[in-house]
């Protein structure tokens, strides 16, 4: 019965006289629990630790001390349990973070010895790439390492191998978002004019108006396009003998409403597209190369990646952009087509609609990485304020103060004219009674009644 309580005791003969004792779980083999204790120099420290222990036990944390788990065991068990549910590319990134943890702390390091100070020291030491020591890590990569460590040690906390997560409050480096160029409609029209083939025109139209990812564009099949409703469907696809598999980044299927401009281009290209090629943006030669590569991957047991579908797209795009004489005011890659499309939607559509079309799980991702303030927004802001001021009938000279000075002069002139007119009609220094006395005749008594008087007989 007393096994469930946490006791505070004092032993004066000890150097650390205050002792906190508690019992663990009952051992089925012996029928008795194991007893634990921790000593302190002051009563206040012991009382605080005692209350913390009682709070932990009320939360359901095991009464026994966590077992001694090494960093190597934690990382190995984490990768095994996460592997079935995570994407291959995600597990590659986690494996890189695990490699850094093992190299810094060592395989035999106990995870309970890693505290917030050790966690801060580990993050501070991650400054260079593992394969190229002369290349520094970007702030984005360092922030990714922090997030991965929080997940790994958070899993240990959930498994009750730890009492707290040492990476829970580690400071994240603030990455700097590079400026990217928003492709305008005029620049897009120039790009279409310089596109060498109808297939390239369809690629630019899909990239600029659908907001699809690079892998989604080149895995697009003719069966994914609904010409009647003008929709583009993006969904997972299993591999077959004639087509490699495809998986969406967020695993959730979605559709995008395409404009008539893009649907018309796709309809024109479908009539001349190579026969036997199910993909919209692949040539006959490229499709045969993909099939050959897919057969080799299947035999070797390798996992297929979307980037295997096509190459040199960015190189060809830069050639087309140079011919179109497009000057980029910031970073521009194939992925920037997707960002430009998202910004075009954000200017006219609600945020939740843009989030759905982009395939994001959180609206914060759409707002943080797929929006930009450019010259068009500044011009629209100016127009909005101008219309508001015009509606209120406020002149454009308010900023110089001329209107205010003219109004003051007009008011002072009007006051002078009103005073002069009042002085002519009624003198201001004479009262009304004095004026009436001057107007009455002198020596004649005024009549006291309006009734006619009767003469007395003489």
Comparing CA positions, the residue from 145, 165, 140 lying closest to residue 153 is 165
Any idea which of 347-351, 387-391, 414-418 has the lowest mean pLDDT? 414-418
Q: How far is it, in rounded angstroms, from Cα 392 to Cα 379? A: 20
Query: For residue 207, is pLDDT > 80?
Result: yes
Residues across the chain? 458
User: Global pTM?
Assistant: 0.66
pLDDT at 457 over 50: no
Q: What is the pLDDT of residue 417?
A: 62
pLDDT at 423: 56
Per-residue pLDDT at 433: 46
* pLDDT tops 80 at residue 17: yes
Contacts 24+ apart (CB under 8 A), 186-190: 187/324, 187/326, 190/324, 190/325, 190/326
CATH class of 185-375: mainly alpha
> How would residue 387 be classed by pLDDT, with cut points 50, 70 and 90?
confident
CA proximity to 207, closest of 280, 304, 135: 280
pLDDT for res 57: 79
Highest mean pLDDT among 17-26, 97-106, 438-447: 97-106
The CATH topology of domain 71-158 is DNA polymerase; domain 1 (1.10.150)
Mean pLDDT of 217-229: 95
Q: Could you tell me if residue 122 is left (phi over 0), alpha (psi between -120 and 50 degrees) or otherwise beta?
A: alpha
Question: Which residue is it, tokens 């060498």?
Answer: 196
Query: 225, 245, 222: which is closest to 309 by C-alpha?
Result: 245
User: Once rounded to an integer, what is the mean pLDDT over residues 241-250?
Assistant: 87
**Average per-residue pLDDT in the chain?**
83
* Cα 429 to Cα 178: distance, rounded to the nearest angstrom: 79
Task: Please state the φ and ψ torsions of residue 26, each to the nearest 5 degrees.
Answer: -70, 130
CB 146 within 8 A of CB 95: no
Q: What pLDDT band is residue 428 in, cutting at 50, 70 and 90?
A: very low
DSSP state of 380: H
**Rounded CA separation 341/371 (Å):** 10
Task: Return the percent helix, strand and coil in the chain, to nearest 5.
Answer: 50, 10, 40
User: What stretch(es) of the chain map to CATH 1.10.443.10?
Assistant: 185-375
214-223, 231-240, 378-387, 399-408: which range is least confident on average?
Answer: 399-408
Instruction: Locate all alpha helices (DSSP H) within 127-178, ordered by sequence.
Output: 139-158
**What does the pLDDT average to over 73-94?**
85
Instruction: Output the six-digit token pair for 318.
Output: 């830069």
Q: pLDDT band for 109, please (50, 70, 90 cuts).
A: very high
Q: List the single range of 166-180, 258-272, 352-366, 372-386 with lowest mean pLDDT.
A: 372-386
Contact present, 330 and 181 (Cβ < 8 Å): yes
**What are the residue ranges of CATH 1.10.150 in the chain?**
71-158
Per residue in 26-78, pLDDT tens? 777 788 888 888 899 999 999 998 888 888 778 777 777 767 899 999 999 99
Residue 99 per-residue DSSP state: H
Instruction: Show the tokens assigned to 132.
Output: 């190229």
Task: State how far the Cα of 292 lies from the Cα of 286, in Å rounded to an integer.
Answer: 10
């Amino acid at each position: 019965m007393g096994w469930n309580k946490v006791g505070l005791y004092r032993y004066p003969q000890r150097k650390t006289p205050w002792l906190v004792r508690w019992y663990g779980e009952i051992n089925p083999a012996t029928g008795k629990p194991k007893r634990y204790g921790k000593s302190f120099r002051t009563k206040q420290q012991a009382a605080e630790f005692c209350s913390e222990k009682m709070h932990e036990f009320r939360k359901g944390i095991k009464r026994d001390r966590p077992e001694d788990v090494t960093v190597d065991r934690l990382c190995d068990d984490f990768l095994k349990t996460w592997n079935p549910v995570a994407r291959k590319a995600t597990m590659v990134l986690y494996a890189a973070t695990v490699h850094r943890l093992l190299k810094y702390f060592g395989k035999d390091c106990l995870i309970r010895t890693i505290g917030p100070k050790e966690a801060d020291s580990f993050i501070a030491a991650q400054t260079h790439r593992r394969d190229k020591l002369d290349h520094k890590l970007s702030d984005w990569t360092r922030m990714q390492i922090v997030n991965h460590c929080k997940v790994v040690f958070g899993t240990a906390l959930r498994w009750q191998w730890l009492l707290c997560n040492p990476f829970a409050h580690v400071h994240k480096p603030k990455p700097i978002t590079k400026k990217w160029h928003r492709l305008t409609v005029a620049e897009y029209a120039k790009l279409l004019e310089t596109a060498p083939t109808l297939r390239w025109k369809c690629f630019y139209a899909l990239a600029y108006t659908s907001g699809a990812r690079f892998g989604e564009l080149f895995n697009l099949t003719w069966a994914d396009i609904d010409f009647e409703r003008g929709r583009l469907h993006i969904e997972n696809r299993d591999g077959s003998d004639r087509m490699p598999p495809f998986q969406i980044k967020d695993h959730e299927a979605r559709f995008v409403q395409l404009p008539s401009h893009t649907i018309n281009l796709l309809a024109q290209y479908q009539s001349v597209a190579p026969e036997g090629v199910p993909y919209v943006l692949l040539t006959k030669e490229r499709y045969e190369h993909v099939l050959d590569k897919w057969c080799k991957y299947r035999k070797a047991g390798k996992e297929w990646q979307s980037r295997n579908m096509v190459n040199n797209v960015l190189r060809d795009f830069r050639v087309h952009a140079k011919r179109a004489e497009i000057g980029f005011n910031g970073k521009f890659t194939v992925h920037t087509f997707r960002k430009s499309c998202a910004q075009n939607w954000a200017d006219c559509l609600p945020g939740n609609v843009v989030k759905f079309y982009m395939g994001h799980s959180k609206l914060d991702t759409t707002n943080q990485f797929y929006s930009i303030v450019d010259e068009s927004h500044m011009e629209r802001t100016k127009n909005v304020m101008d219309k508001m001021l015009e509606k209120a009938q406020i002149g454009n000279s308010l900023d110089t103060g001329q209107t205010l000075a003219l109004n003051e002069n007009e008011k002072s002139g009007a006051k002078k004219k009103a005073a002069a007119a009042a002085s002519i009609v009624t003198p201001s220094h004479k009262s009304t009674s004095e004026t009436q006395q001057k107007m009455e005749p002198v020596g004649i008594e005024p009549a006291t009644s309006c009734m006619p008087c009767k003469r007395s007989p003489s």
